[in-house]
Structure 1
Amino acid sequence: MINALYPLIRPLLFSLEGERAHEVTFSMLETAHKLGLLGAHESRPEEGVTLMGLRFPNRVGLAAGLDKNARHIDALGALGFGFIEAGTVTAQPQAGNAKPRLFRLPEAGALINRMGFPNEGAEVIAQRLAQRRFKGPCGINIGKNATTPLEDAARNYVECFRVVAPHADYVTVNVSSPNTANLRQLQQVDQLRPILDALLEARVQLVSSSGKQLPILVKVSPDLSSEDFAAIARLVRELRIDGVIATNTTITREVVKGVPNSEQQGGLSGAPIRSLALQSIPILREHLGKDVPLIAVGGIDSGAAAVAALQAGADLIQIYTGLIYRGPKLVTEILAAVGSFTKSARPT
């Protein structure tokens, strides 16, 4: 039912300012969830996969950014996602950048955002994670507070990690958003290493106190060079980081040049970055080897795009902007395409 309704209500939503439309959409989603109208996809055993010690009911996940404050995990899960990533969350609450900060590019099937990690802070979000009923893995994407100097980034990430880790199924280290000043510098191996070292030490303490094993992943930018991707992949293997998410939004604009709103500052997501994001997958896979899980995200707005990411070397995929343009039907389409692909790829 929800699949049929979304095309009818999308014009109304797109008539609203971006963040207001976001609020209205989630209000409608929660109502539909409470009324049992979402018709959750029941994953079949053959759709599932075990990675990083976690059982994913299917390979299709929601990327971080849509549910920043982990308010809607259960309702989103009812759309059929195999896993959900909430956030980005920071140790301390912050308002993010000045509004307006979210812009649609309908002609390109894209968004530009300069949100700047607005969120209610790790303590509040950890409490919500603890109350979720969604049965699939739920990750939490963590970032640096805007007021924290780069030289103090490791401490800030660890502060956030310690609060959310007990209630998350995995944690993603976001060093690739273009919307917090200088954050992307932390992707440089000499700056990324101390952050990951500190988080790994915090995880040792978590295991010691609770016995909980918690995968740690790194999310990278699509704007890195092949050499940068290779260097990060080597660091991931050296430190035994559990996985990589590729990619975040891009600051490039060539593919949307001349499109209304394309001049806005921020990260570009959606269909125009598909090729750029996809190019990173085989490079990372080559240097990660076969055993490090790789999650593809960026411009995946069809079943064919999802299959292309898997063919390129990804183990899982995530969507965000495509969901805004195509609605919940996109989840159903991707699940069918991925199911057919994995079935045909299995040895007989």
Structure 2
Amino acid sequence: MYKLLIRPLFFLFDPEKIHHFTFSLVRFLCKVPGVTSIFKSLYTVNHKSLERQLFDLHFKNPVGLAAGFDKNAVLYNELANFGFGFIEIGTVTPKGQVGNPKKRLFRLKDDKGIINRMGFNNKGLEAAIHQLKKNRGQLIIGGNIGKNTQTKPEDYTKDYLECFNGLHPYVDYFVLNVSCPNVSSHAKLNDKDYLLELISEVQAANKTFAKQKPIVLKIAPDLNTSQLDEIIDLVKETNLDGVIASNTSVDRTGLKASEERLTEIGNGGLSGQPIKEKSTRVIQYLSEKSNKAFPIIGVGGIHSAKDALEKIEAGADLVQIYTGFIYEGPKLIKQINKAIIKKANQ
């Protein structure tokens, strides 16, 4: 039904506008008596073989929603009804910001991809905290944090710390987003010396809390092997809890979309099917080269159960979807979980 009726209708409209409309629709439907139960019965799968113990957290299943979808933590309670094991909110910045000028979100239908240059648009830390206080405790919540666009380089770490300290009581794990191609001073955020400083400061803040929260790093899919070796060394050196592989890509190689279309769209991060193999290779390299030294959350181009299993076989402990959720619909979560159960019972 989704791919036959709903998606063709939604794809007639501007991607960002339909995103906000969908949020309103889901929120409205979940207020209708009985609809929440219907969603859960349609999409939720519960099975012992789906459960994961990672970062000292118990995940009821390994399929999550990546950051960027519920930026302001306004729909995670309703999205829990679609069978996710965890949801990552954000990217959250200390102050609310409008992000980059519109139009900034583009579908590549033939490629089953999306290009975005949103620019960390969100309502800010206090708004996210306000929404997270409504948490019904249905699943694990991750907090993806970043810096404000106007923040000076010498104050980047302060931004991360402000978000970390503010969200600490309300999320189960943290993601340091240093790999989004749509923010200023992207180079500094990928400098190893700066990452050492940032991670050390955040971990020091973590130790001031009675209960420490896991911290993972989200990396780009475009890193070469020497850069990935640096990531492995960085995780070892700082005792980071894990890595998310990967963020969006700036590479446009092999797309079906015409050069004219890509020129019209301009810069931005590419997600969806076109980055599937690239992100899987990153996962496999990190897993094999580190001898499975740390957990990996695999994300990038998961549009089927087969895609998810490939990520897991490559070394991912958990997986996340975003663009696949938009193209394939909520049934994808159930398909992945059922495939994992089947694989476990073979």
* TM-score of the aligned structures, taking structure 2 as reference length: 0.94
Equivalent residues in 2 for 1:73-152 (5 A)? 73-152=76-155
Residues in 2 aligned to 1:71 and 1:184: alpha-carbon distance in whole angstroms: 31
Give the alignment partner of residue 344 of structure 2, picking from 327, 342, 345.
Answer: 342
What is the CA-CA distance between 1:305 and the residue it aligns to?
0.4
Residue 39 of structure 2: aligned partner: 38
Residue 231 of structure 1: aligned partner: 230
Q: 1:184 to 1:302 in 2, by over 3 A?
A: farther
Residues in 1 aligned to 2:92 and 2:142: alpha-carbon distance in whole angstroms: 11
Residues in 1 aligned to 2:194 and 2:296: alpha-carbon distance in whole angstroms: 22
Residues in 2 aligned to 1:25 and 1:190: alpha-carbon distance in whole angstroms: 41
Give the alignment partner of residue 301 of structure 2, picking from 292, 299, 302.
Answer: 299
Residues in 1 aligned to 2:185 and 2:13: alpha-carbon distance in whole angstroms: 32
Comparing 250-259 with 49-58, which one deviates more in the overlay?
Answer: 250-259
Give the alignment partner of residue 59 of structure 2, picking from 37, 51, 56.
Answer: 56
What is the CA-CA distance between 1:190 and the residue it aligns to?
1.0
Comparing 327-336 with 34-43, which one deviates more in the overlay?
Answer: 34-43
Aligned residues of 1:89 and 1:143 also touching (Cα < 8 A): yes
Residues in 1 aligned to 2:240 and 2:55: alpha-carbon distance in whole angstroms: 10
Equivalent residues in 2 for 1:318-333 (5 A)? 318-333=320-335
Q: 1:184 to 1:137 in 2, by over 3 A?
A: farther
Aligned residues of 2:111 and 2:257 also touching (Cα < 8 A): no
Give the alignment partner of residue 175 of structure 2, picking from 160, 172, 177.
Answer: 172
Residue 280 of structure 1: aligned partner: 282
Aligned residues of 1:105 and 1:262 also touching (Cα < 8 A): no
Residue 215 of structure 2: aligned partner: 216
Equivalent residues in 2 for 1:148-163 (5 A)? 148-163=151-166
Three-state SS of the structure 2 residue aligned to 1:185 is helix
Give the alignment partner of residue 191 of structure 1, picking from 179, 190, 194.
Answer: 194
Task: Work out the percentage of aligned pairs sharing the same amino acid.
Answer: 42
Aligned residues of 1:256 and 1:262 also touching (Cα < 8 A): no
Letter of the aligned partner of 2:189 in structure 1? L
- What is the total number of aligned residue pairs between the two structures? 337
Residues in 1 aligned to 2:135 and 2:154: alpha-carbon distance in whole angstroms: 35
Aligned residues of 2:105 and 2:117 also touching (Cα < 8 A): yes
Residue 22 of structure 2: aligned partner: 25
Aligned residues of 1:234 and 1:287 also touching (Cα < 8 A): no
Residue 270 of structure 1: aligned partner: 272
Three-state SS of the structure 2 residue aligned to 1:252 is coil
Residue 67 of structure 1: aligned partner: 70
Three-state SS of the structure 1 residue aligned to 2:294 is coil
Three-state SS of the structure 2 residue aligned to 1:308 is helix
Q: 1:224 to 1:70 in 2, by over 3 A?
A: same
Residues in 2 aligned to 1:217 and 1:88: alpha-carbon distance in whole angstroms: 14
Aligned residues of 1:123 and 1:164 also touching (Cα < 8 A): no
